[in-house]
Structure 1
């Protein structure tokens, strides 16, 4: 089964169109103001409309309130909620029930013990996303950091999963070969500057992932 691809941190129409043209499976919109990739619900609305029926729309949130999430869901017509903060399994389950949407939970990884945390979310989320643990005080994601992919060699889980963190056109093939990940999530790896997506890199990333 082909590894699915998510291009995260999309904030402009050209990047969205590049992701669609490259046959990515998901477009990620970041609703976290401190991020250089952040969009407001108002900014995301035309992107969500443009994406409708062409690519699945994922909204990334960091410890957001129900009201903040609801506003983004309504504006961008989101298909998936991705939680990238300190949300508990109970919080994830509550959001999944309230909004009737699949919920993904990012798990920060620096060592083997961190993988076990994904089991806490079994039954509460639809996918766990293993991402590199960022330094204290840094943004939770989009930093271009990677963890040791060998930790996931032979990994099996009842919950669907994917990987993020430090993945780019030059190493996505290695990431997939080592982990056999069902999904890869890229953000800074397809940028020319923080928050500035490079359409050529998006195309190249998707080609490399599909060829693996």
Structure 2
């Protein structure tokens, strides 16, 4: 299982967190977010995939950010359509991964994801809340028993140290969980991560060997 650390904002903190070598690092390009990123990404070591997070933004803006920041993945948190993703896929280099986000609660209908299977590389399930992401709470993972796709997905939404046991349990299922996405549970303030907490989590995450 891969690890994504999202909502990075400050260059020094980016380097600190980058030294932990997560598989993905997320930068939020939605201006209404408290974690909005508009700076310079320092050079990262290893093979960390820089991921741009967007919410109902134009094709032009997404393509421009991918080029400007040399992104390796884009994460779409809005109401983007199948047609939008299809066109984005055409405009981006083939190596760029596309992650489509769905906000989940107990009433979520997994049938809505089916048309997106051919136009993205991964799904991401986050907790339905007031904001498109970063609400800091988990959803009931039992609903994932209804998952009806072979597409690998990221699991997100309020994941912290206390969720490791539940992660271990759900990893024993046949669900194609590709990665865990962490953010707000490891923050000193929005966009500023606590390296010690992240180090502890990553160590336990690796020991669990999901």
CA displacement at 1:195 relative to structure 2: 2.5
Residues 149 and 175, structure 1, Cα contact 8 Å, conserved in 2: no
Q: Does 1:83 align with 2:81?
A: no
Residues 10 and 191, structure 2, Cα contact 8 Å, conserved in 1: no
CA displacement at 1:56 relative to structure 2: 0.7
Q: 1:92 to 1:116 in 2, by over 3 A?
A: same
Higher helix share: 1
Q: For each residue in 1:118-150, what CA deviation from the matched residue of structure 2 results, as whole angstroms up to 9, or x when unmatched?
A: 22211111000011111xxx2210110211012
Q: For each residue in 1:59-107, what CA deviation from the matched residue of structure 2 results, as whole angstroms up to 9, or x when unmatched?
A: 0000111221122112210001100000011111211211122210001
The 5 A counterparts of 1:65-80 are 65-80=58-73
Q: For each residue in 1:130-175, what CA deviation from the matched residue of structure 2 results, as whole angstroms up to 9, or x when unmatched?
A: 11111xxx22101102110122248563212111001012213423
Aligned to 1:158: 150
Give TM-score, length-normalised by structure 1. Answer: 0.87
How big is the alpha-carbon RMSD for the aligned residues of Structure 1 and Structure 2? Answer: 2.0
Distance 1:211 1:117 in 2: 35
Distance 2:163 2:10 in 1: 25
The 5 A counterparts of 1:18-167 are 18-40=16-38, 43=39, 46-47=40-41, 49-51=42-44, 53-100=46-93, 101-111=96-106, 113-134=108-129, 138-153=130-145, 155=147, 157-167=149-159
Residues 107 and 114, structure 1, Cα contact 8 Å, conserved in 2: no
Any stretches of 5+ residues in structure 2 without a counterpart?
none
Distance 1:206 1:55 in 2: 15
Aligned to 1:169: 161
Give TM-score, length-normalised by structure 2. Answer: 0.87
SS of the equivalent of 1:50 reads coil
Q: 1:102 to 1:145 in 2, by over 3 A?
A: same
Any stretches of 5+ residues in structure 1 without a counterpart?
none
Poorly superposed stretches of 4+, deviation over 4 Å: 153-156
Distance 1:201 1:13 in 2: 18
Structure 1 stretch displaced more, 173-182 or 89-98: 173-182
How many positions carry a matched residue from both structures? 202
Q: 1:31 to 1:153 in 2, by over 3 A?
A: same
